[in-house]
Chains A and B, each alone.
Chain A
Amino acid sequence: MIENTNNLCEEKNFSDFYVKHLQSASNFAFYKCGDSAKSLDLVQDAFSKIWENCAKINFDKAKTYLFTSINNMFLNTIKHNKVVMDYAKAAPYLDTDNQSPEYLLEEEEFKTKLQNAIALLTDGQREVFLLNRIEGKKYREIATLLDISQKAVEKRMSIALKTLKQHIQNI
């Protein structure tokens, strides 16, 4: 009976799974291709694949399967755009007390630089960096998600930080 409740071929189970993971999956796709329509397409294709193979996929592995599918489909199909991330509208400044116009201007300038620098990262570095920063994922979680070693994740993160730092300080 337990197997039945975890069966992805049940439409209700699948819908729950879909709603639960849609946002993170589409974020992940967006970090890769930088186009919201295309990333949603990717995600839908990946979910279709899971639906078609529902009998073969273990419920516990379905999430990994989803992200791996997105990754593979991205590599196979999408010619990606420059990934320009937007800031959340209510984003607070680092120093919330300092409201002087100079400070605000400086911070806005920094934010633009950061946006541009992120766009210059490689796909691998960017996805690791953004999964860590936006989703707040630990390196270990990212490693499982991408099906790579934690060392590799840390290496990408380290290079990403170095690259970002250099770009921001040079411009």
Chain B
Amino acid sequence: MKKEKNILQWFNNELSNEELDDLKKSEDFKTLEKIKHYSSQLEAPKVDAQQALQQFKQRQLTKTKPKVITLNFKSFLKIAALLIVMLGGSYFVFFNNTESFSTQIAQNKTVTLPDNSEVILNAKSKLSYNKKTWDKQRNLKLDGEAFFKVEKGQKFTVNTTAGLVQVLGTQFNVKERDNYFEVLCYEGLVSVTHNNKTVKLPKGNGFKVTNGSIELTTNHTTTKPDWMQAESSFTNIALQEVIAELERQYNVTIKATAVDTTQLFSGTFTHNNLNTALQSITIPLKISFKIEGQTVTFYNYGG
């Protein structure tokens, strides 16, 4: 081991002369000396530094160019689009709390609201409210006709395009048509706001707007709107309104160009039989009708 260490030191030129003399006595010394001598005569291939530097600089130029990464707008757009879709999606999942109900022609639907208030939707009507804010504000949007049975509690508001109906706990009917708005209170007290005018309706009273003229009605004795008994009743209503209601309750198209649709109608029609309903409208007005599939044509006698 000592000898090996000395050899290493000798090759590192760190061996003293005495130690070297000692080493010279070993049998391998001649070979090692030759190895030491001749290996130092070896050489690696010479490199021309200047020429290599020139080459290096050239390749540097050609190599760095493709390294420039241009801002890739397409991939940016891809990511942006993805983000928008995700954010939009999550918005609709987490923040869109609007609950909507709607009824088709000839369909009634009972909706129970989160506070157990009941809304019965008449045909071709739409009701929506915000689930999230319901606990604080009982706000509803109505397009069409519905009967409300409101549980006692916070202010209960029905928004329609024609006006605002507010109650505390009561039963009432709201009917909103083109050029026609009617609220009937069946129990409790209802406040109706129409064109910035507020009217309070006690039980049995009604509020009616026909073509802009307001009419207050009293002494209603029924406890429920007639449409809930599968009937529609009218008092001095223009025929065109009656026809519109008929089309809502039966899936039919009514052609009434041959008759005067502004004449007033008072009466009731059933929701269960088209033929009977048509008769109860046409006979008092002295007009005839013809049923062809889904189309009903009104015409005058002898017309």
Q: State the A residues within 8 Å of B (CB).
A: 15, 18-19, 22-23, 26-27, 30-31, 36, 39-40, 43-44, 47-48, 51-52, 85-88, 91-92, 94, 107, 110-111, 114-115, 118, 129-130, 132-134, 136, 138-139, 154, 157-158, 161, 164-165, 168-169
Contact = CB atoms under 8 A, between A and B. Distances in A.
Interface residues of B, number: 34
Given A15-B53, A133-B39, A165 B32 contact: yes
A169 B31 contact: yes
A111 B38 contact: yes
B36 interface: yes
Q: Which A-B residue pairs are the 6 nearest by beta carbons?
A: A91-B41, A27-B44, A36-B45, A133-B39, A85-B42, A30-B44
Given A31-B44, A51-B60, A85-B44, A129 B39 contact: yes
Given A18-B53, A19-B53, A161-B7, A114 B12 contact: no
Contacts of A30: 44-45
Contacts of A18: 49, 52-53, 56
Interface of B: 4, 7-8, 11-12, 28, 31-47, 49-50, 52-53, 55-56, 59-60, 63-64, 67
Contacts of A92: 41
Query: Main SS of chain B's interface residues?
Result: helix
B244 to A, nearest CB: 80
B59 A44 contact: yes
A134 B56 contact: no
A134 B49 contact: no
Contacts, number: 114
Given A132-B12, A139-B12, A44 B44 contact: no
Nearest to B67: A52
Contact of B47 (A26, A51, A88, A165): A26
A161 B53 contact: no
B63 A88 contact: no
Contacts of A26: 44-45, 47
B11 A86 contact: no
Query: Main SS of chain A's interface residues?
Result: helix
Contacts of A43: 47, 52
Contacts of A51: 60
30 contacts: A18-B56, A22-B53, A26-B47, A36-B45, A40-B47, A43-B47, A51-B60, A52-B67, A85-B42, A86-B43, A86-B45, A87-B41, A87-B42, A87-B43, A88-B42, A94-B37, A114-B39, A130-B42, A132-B11, A132-B12, A133-B11, A133-B36, A133-B39, A133-B42, A134-B39, A134-B42, A139-B12, A157-B8, A158-B4, A168-B31
Nearest to A26: B47
Given A18-B53, A22-B49, A133-B36, A158 B41 contact: no
B56 A44 contact: yes
B65 to A, nearest CB: 13
A91 B40 CA distance: 9
B8 A154 contact: yes
Residue of B8, B32, B41, B55 contacting most chain A CB atoms (<10 Å): B41
A119 to B, nearest CB: 11
A139 B9 CA distance: 9
A94 B50 contact: no
A126 to B, nearest CB: 11
